[in-house]
Amino acid sequence: MDELDPVIHASARLRITASLAALDPGDRIAFPRLQELLGMTAGNLSTHLRKLEDADYVRVEKTHQGRTPVTYLNLTPAGRAAFETYTEQLRSLLGGELA
C-alpha cells in the first residue's frame, strides 16, 4: 500500500477537496459559497486552500464582478485524480466495508 497523500490526509483539506470534487468537473465555485457549504472561517479556508494550490490540486481564479473582487475555485485534474486515489486507498484500507 502506498502512503496516503499528506496534502489531502488532513481533515480540513479533505473536506475542501471532497466538496470541490462533488461539483461538475466543468464548474467553479465562489469562495463565499464554498465557505458557507463547509462552515469554515475565511482565514482557515484560505490557509488550507493555499496548501492545496501549492500542490497544484486547486486552481484559484481571481476575478471581478463589477468592482467586487471574487475568487473562484475548482479542482485541477491532478487534484481530482489525487482525491480519487486517496478515496480508493481508504476503501482498500477498510477492506471495502464502507464502499
Partner 1 sequence: MTQHDDPDRDAAGEAPLDPREMLALIQGETTTVRRALGAQTPVYYFVWGIAWLVGYLVYWAGAPGSDSPITLPIVPAVIVFAALIVAAAAISTVVGIRSNRGIKGTSQWVGTIYGLSWPVMGIAIGMIGMGLIRQGMSIELATIYFTSSYALMVTALYLAGAAIWRSIDQLVIGLIIGVAATVTPSFGYPNNLLAMALIAGPALLAGGVIAIIRNRRA
Binding footprint of partner 1 on the chain (CB under 8 A): 4, 9-15, 18-19, 21-30, 32-34, 37-41, 44, 48, 72, 74, 87, 90-91, 93-94, 98
Q: Which three cell numbers stand for residue 93?
A: 484500507
Nearest distance in Å: CB 72, partner 1: 6
Distances in Å between the Cα of 65 and the Cα atoms of 34, 69, 72, 73 are 17, 6, 11, 15
Which is closer to partner 1, CB of 12 or CB of 60?
A: 12
SS3 category, 91: helix
DSSP for residue 23? S
Nearest distance in Å: CB 42, partner 1: 13
